[in-house]
Structure 1
Amino acid sequence: MMSSKKATSLCIVVIAACLLSGLSGCHDVVVEQPKIVRPVKVMMVSQGDGALERTFSGTSQDAMDSDLSFQVGGRIIFMQAKVGQQVSVDEVLARLDPVDFELQEKQAKAQLEQARAEFIKAQADVSRIRVLYEKAVVSKSELDAAEAVYKTTGALLDAANQRFDIAKQNLNYTVLHAPFDGIVSDAPLEVHQVVNAGQTIVSLKADQQLEVVVGIPDVLIADIYRGEQVVVTFDALPGASLSGIVTEVGVDAGSSTTYPVTITLTERPVRARSGMAARVTFVLGKKKGKPIVPAVAVVGNPDTTTHVFTVDPETAIIHKKMVTLGPITKHGLTIDSGLIPGEILVIRGVHSVEEGMKVRILSETS
């Protein structure tokens, strides 16, 4: 019979062996980890409405900006215009010495009076000779000669009238008037200087309407039309957003690849000046029908390509789709190709998913 002490030792050995056996078997047990289902926020891809905004930089200028000159040459005897001066329509800006033009007008008037007297005499002669011819007192050749003189004096009278009108007009041209209300921007000449016809005397800018001229790329000019409403902002006037209307669309790009487009502001802020830097925002429709998606939904690749992730709504499986980007709008990025309306697009969690992954679609309120 085994003693109680030996029995106890045997039990300890057996238990230790069992424990060692159990511990050695722990390395062969595979514990299956639960799969993580990533939550994502999605949106349904819809067809864009074509409202694409593009902003172009330009420079403001006065809607009316004229270099004024005399239509005749002469010596300046009066110069009213000064740089920065506010002038009104028809206000006298400068005068030329009128003496020579007054003499020319008097001479032309005298020639006109002489031509008129000769015409009246010829008219009376032909009437008198016609009566005598009808009475067979004078010959037909005398009547013909009288009628020829009458026609000649009539032509001379017309020419004298024209010369007199030109002389009067030239005299009027010695006074330079403001053609519109405005501000003198340049007045380079002084009194007593002799000027030629067409030489700039005063530069005048209208102080009412303001224009902005921008250059539009050739690929977009077809979407710009006269009468289109635009939004104009100025760097020097923060917070001011002004409305404008396209008044001129260039038809020739010249040596550049942009076409000049002129926008007239419908209002003019007090602080707005000609020469200020401006930005004009157009709403274009060239990309009509293209989807527009949030920028956070688009992933850039090292090779400059881009992709998005869509979700199969039935299986909740992720699919990677390569896309081609179009213009940027205030609502997001235009997708030129790669997406079609109706697809479910991942817009949150794009950097945590990959092709074939199963996800959990969050509700709109999540």
Structure 2
Amino acid sequence: MQLSALSSKINRKKLYLTLSVIAGLCILGSVLWKGQQPAQETLKEIPAVRTTVIGGSDISQGYTYAGEVRGRYESQLAFQVNGKIIKRNIQLGSKVDAGDVLLQIDAKDVLQTVNNYSAQVDSAESQLQLAESNLKRYRELLEGGAISQSQYDQYVNAYKVAVAGVRQTQAQYTQGTNQLDYTLLKADKPGIVSGISAEIGQVVSAGQVIVTVVQDGEREVEISVPENRIEGLRKAEKIQVSFWALPEVTVTGKIREISPMADQTTRTFKVRVSLVNPPPEMKLGMTAAVAINDSTMQPTVNIPVAAVYQAEGNTPAVWVVTDGRVTLRSIQTGNYGKDNTIQVISGLQQGDRIVIAGVHKLTEGQQVSIGGDSL
């Protein structure tokens, strides 16, 4: 009985010990599980972002201006008299030679003026013939002592007046014939008609530009430049000109002329760019793109537009990744490039890693996991 009771007591102790060990293991497992769960949850909260590393760039800051192929020498022609256009002998693109009649205005009124001057010349010449006859007659009377010297001097003066009257009317007649010739608008140099601003039936005034003729010879590109970029344009070391209609052609240009005064409407300055070895396919009026690059200016790099974050105050910025955390940095942007890229003038340095996707989901100092390639 005593052995049986002792055995039962030992078994109960073993059972209690076993249960205690099991309970301890459960508590320890629960503690360990609870200690690891926040780490897993924290790991899940770290977002993976697509990044890229800023590399070196040989691209200098520059600007591109739209321009038009023009002739170096252009003649803007106008009538020298008022009138109504009754005839037009040209079209846009017509090739003309010096002396060709381009347009004609109604000359009826001018012709009547010329006829009037012609009649005045005939009248003056008749008066001169009469004065000359009187002078000859009274000279003979003076020599015979029939008249005094003072009477003779009156006829001498009348003769001189008649001579001057003839000269005056002849000058008026010459002026009238010139006016008649001015009713014809003629080309002064050979070239190509690039502009016509009047039609048949339109009444035009003297000096009003009607036709523009581009003279044969050198071709160049005209661009309009804002005043804050004129000085940079003067210092430009490299100018490249391309053409919309000739995508495979790029030529070197140089600044020939900068207008000393801004246009009253656009407030920009007209700039003429001459071309070195222009392509034979280039035609008047073609659209050209003039790229101005200056190696003395700060190098730039192009980044995806999606990498730009619009900060407060509409200041462009990017998220820079440092030690696994993101920091917002302001940048200065330039021109838009190809493939949805934008030029960054300042704010980034070589080796900076920036976020290029999902920039609006990040916060300052947030921890991220990175990936991506170098620009």
TM-score relative to the length of structure 2: 0.52
Equivalent position of 2:332 in the other structure: 325
1:92 to 100, 116, 119: 100
Structure 1, residues 151-192: CA drift from partner, whole Å, max 9, x if none? Answer: xxxxx9xx99xx79x7799487676432322237356347xx
Higher helix share: 2
2:241 to 214, 231, 235: 231
Conserved? CA contact 2:52–2:372, under 8 Å: yes
Alignment of 1:343-354 (within 5 A): 344-347=351-354
Partner SS for 2:91 = coil
Task: Supply the distance in 2 between the matched residues of 1:317 and 1:296 (Cα, whole angstroms).
Answer: 23
Structure 1, residues 313-338: CA drift from partner, whole Å, max 9, x if none? Answer: xxx676846333142365853343x5
Partner SS for 1:2 = helix
Conserved? CA contact 2:61–2:299, under 8 Å: no
Distance 1:242 1:79, change over 3 A: farther
Distance 1:58 1:87, change over 3 A: closer
Residue type at the aligned position of 2:187: A
Task: Supply the distance in 2 between the matched residues of 1:257 and 1:175 (Cα, whole angstroms).
Answer: 35
Task: Supply the distance in 1 between the matched residues of 2:17 and 2:223 (Cα, whole angstroms).
Answer: 96
Conserved? CA contact 1:53–1:329, under 8 Å: no
Task: Supply the distance in 2 between the matched residues of 1:293 and 1:195 (Cα, whole angstroms).
Answer: 54
1:182 to 177, 192, 200: 192
Q: Structure 1 residue 16 and structure 2 residue 19: aligned? A: yes
Structure 1, residues 56-79: CA drift from partner, whole Å, max 9, x if none? Answer: 446666666644345467999x95
Equivalent position of 1:309 in the other structure: 320
Conserved? CA contact 2:220–2:273, under 8 Å: yes
Residue type at the aligned position of 1:88: V
TM-score relative to the length of structure 1: 0.53
Partner SS for 2:343 = strand
Distance 1:9 1:300, change over 3 A: same
Between Structure 1 and Structure 2, how many residues are aligned? 300
Give the C-alpha shift of residue 23 in structure 1. 0.5
Conserved? CA contact 1:83–1:187, under 8 Å: no
Alignment of 1:265-284 (within 5 A): 266=275, 267=278, 274=285, 278=287, 280-284=289-293
Distance 1:362 1:353, change over 3 A: farther
Alignment of 1:30-49 (within 5 A): 30-31=35-36, 42-43=53-54
Equivalent position of 2:150 in the other structure: none
Conserved? CA contact 1:59–1:214, under 8 Å: yes
Equivalent position of 1:126 in the other structure: none
Alignment of 1:71-86 (within 5 A): 71=80, 79=87, 81-84=89-92, 86=94
Structure 1, residues 222-261: CA drift from partner, whole Å, max 9, x if none? Answer: 2224997343444xx4846664654442333355674132
Partner SS for 2:22 = helix
Alignment of 1:107-186 (within 5 A): 170=178, 176-179=185-188, 180-183=190-193, 185=196
Conserved? CA contact 1:242–1:265, under 8 Å: no
Residue type at the aligned position of 1:251: P
Residue type at the aligned position of 2:196: S
Q: Structure 1 residue 203 and structure 2 residue 214: aligned? A: no
Equivalent position of 1:2 in the other structure: 4
Conserved? CA contact 1:294–1:333, under 8 Å: yes
